[in-house]
Structure 1
Amino acid sequence: MTTTLPPRAGRRCHNAVNTVHTTLYFSPDLDRECGALGITDTSAARLAARSAPLGAVGAGTVAATFYNYNHELLARHLPAVWGTASPAAVLDARLRAADTTLRRLFGEETASSPEMAEAAELALRAAEACTRHARPLYSANADLPVPEAPHLAYWHAATLLREHRGDGHLTALLTLGLDPIEAVVSHTATGRAMSPRWFLGSRGWRRADWEAAAERLRDRGLLDADGELTEAGTRLREDVEEVTDRLDTAPYDHLGAAGVERLTELARGFAVAAAAAGAFPADLLGKG
């Protein structure tokens, strides 16, 4: 698919918008809301919150749609978590947590500001061009109602754009031959992803799994002896992003160059504010 936008404009816009969506998964408010439902394990809470739009699914469905999680971790919590709280109850808890989180990070004035309403309107307009086929997480979220409050409408739209790009990203990873943990290891080697400690802790892999994946990547000439990306590895990771870009052009072409530029500007401002307010752990990113 061709695009009339400047190179990587859609990717830059997505990255800025996605930052605000991601705040929920590092928020104590999600733990509190899920805990009130009886879901007290942090992994279970986050798995339930993201998969709830799909319904009372099991580990197999989530392994397929989340991609880089260890099935053993998923099977410890799914489908058992739905015996504690229904997907509908988890969706309500998720939205309450997003409400509390964004109000805390931005303050009431910004959360209800004209700029927030504008960002929500632009992101929702972009999402009008998202497609459902072969996009299970996007399609499930697209069935949910748009919240009325500007900050929640923006968070909902960010979720749609995130999952639309993410569903396409899985196609790119499969096409270019990176299995779930190889995708994680190679992404971390770029220095622009979560650190190994955070990936291992949240995705359920063991250090031995990580090292075995790194060895496979070295055998393919994608990592060097120090765990850094080789020239071929760097090219492969860029190929992954470029394929993902091609599969995710529709929303941003629909919004148009001026709309994408404005949404990126607004989203970056909100992302910087969220990070400054402590939305993410200080050691989240990096190779160590």
Structure 2
Amino acid sequence: MDQQYRNYGYARHCAQAVNALHSIPYFTADLADEVAPFGITDHSSVYLAGRASALGPVDPAVVAAVFNSFAPRLISERIPTLWDQISPERALRARENAVAAALERLLGTGIVRSAELSEAAKLATVAAQAGALPGRPLYAANSALDLPERPHVALWHAATVLREHRGDGHVAVLDHFELTGVDSLVIDCSSSHGMAKEIVMPMRGWTEDEWSAGRERLADRGLVDAGGELTPRGAALRDEVEAETGRLDRRPYEALGPANVERLARYVHRTVGIAADAGVFPPPLRGFFAPTADVWNAL
């Protein structure tokens, strides 16, 4: 098999693995416990306290713009009120405390304090520091934060920086293809690779009417059929969006080099699998965030 394809495959799987690692604190009670004393209790507000805090006390329109796939209404109902309850600086400390507790519990002290994890954190940090800043607000905001001292938190932080680098690029690609946030979710949920609509739509704050309007826009473009299934044209566009997102995300992995990308990808994939086996992801989402080792067979 062509080595360039193998290298791309490892980079793609590495991006998937670091995204899953980044998501872990949002599936545990640790972050909710950290912010509960500030009167923050609903799941969406907890999520925003964790993920939007790196941006500082910006207007809800800014958060909606950079998050993209979340309904602006969900965000404006919580921000800026959220920052009256907890400052972004305090929310960032809560996030770091939650990450530290969740990973140590899920992975075990032996893994958290291992030389292998420390090495993975160093590799991920090298990659995270090599991304492109222009047009990437969430990547820039997280990159500007101090690097955590504890290796397992540093690994999570680097995974988050890498996740936001790819995510910011993905938003740019969607805009290029004139796909709104809800449009992109409808396409993804209509494919065999996405989550179920019943999970995604309420989690991102969209109404049934808004979702249907997105589906109608896509149908007018010939991207979904009357039943809401992806057409061949829609599937091809989804593949093109993913390919372009990967192309714009290549700098961190080029900086790391093929051998280290493979090492990091395999380690983070295995680490996420341990957390998944510990029950961090709900059963319907386990395969989405932590696919089996068979993903490597095609490389």
Same fold per TM (> 0.5)? yes
Distance in structure 2 (CA, Å) of the matches to 1:201 and 1:101: 25
**Following superposition of structure 1 onto structure 2, how do residues 1-288 of structure 1 map, counting pairs within 5 Å?**
6-284=7-285
Q: Give a deviation string over 1:108-128, Cα, whole Å, max 9, x none.
A: 111111221121111011112
Q: Give a deviation string over 1:194-240, Cα, whole Å, max 9, x none.
A: 32122222211011211221122122111123322111111101111
Greater Cα offset, 260-269 or 4-13:
4-13
> How many Å apart are 1:47 and its aligned residue?
1.1
* TM-score after normalising by structure 1: 0.94
Is residue 276–residue 286 contact of structure 2 (8 Å, CA) maintained in 1? no
> How many Å apart are 1:284 and its aligned residue?
3.3
SS in 2 for 1:62: helix
Q: How many residues align?
A: 285
> How many Å apart are 1:94 and its aligned residue?
0.5
Runs of at least 4 residues of structure 1 off by over 6 A?
Answer: none
Unaligned runs of 5+ in 2: 289-299
Greater Cα offset, 229-238 or 8-17:
8-17
Greater Cα offset, 6-15 or 153-162:
6-15
SS in 2 for 1:283: helix
Q: CA RMSD in A?
A: 1.8
Distance in structure 2 (CA, Å) of the matches to 1:94 and 1:239: 34
* TM-score after normalising by structure 2: 0.91
Is residue 129–residue 143 contact of structure 2 (8 Å, CA) maintained in 1? no
> How many Å apart are 1:285 and its aligned residue?
7.3
Tell me the amino acid that sits aligned with residue 116 of structure 1.
L
Distance in structure 1 (CA, Å) of the matches to 2:285 and 2:127: 29
Tell me the amino acid that sits aligned with residue 157 of structure 1.
A
Distance in structure 2 (CA, Å) of the matches to 1:99 and 1:69: 27
SS in 2 for 1:267: helix
Is residue 136–residue 167 contact of structure 1 (8 Å, CA) maintained in 2? yes
Greater Cα offset, 106-115 or 188-197:
188-197
Distance in structure 2 (CA, Å) of the matches to 1:197 and 1:23: 21
Distance in structure 2 (CA, Å) of the matches to 1:126 and 1:218: 39
Is residue 194–residue 285 contact of structure 1 (8 Å, CA) maintained in 2? no
Unaligned runs of 5+ in 1: none
Is residue 53–residue 87 contact of structure 1 (8 Å, CA) maintained in 2? yes
SS in 2 for 1:178: coil
Distance in structure 1 (CA, Å) of the matches to 2:83 and 2:173: 31
SS in 2 for 1:77: coil
Greater Cα offset, 217-226 or 174-183:
217-226
Q: Give a deviation string over 1:8-58, Cα, whole Å, max 9, x none.
A: 432211101221111111111111111122212221111121111110112
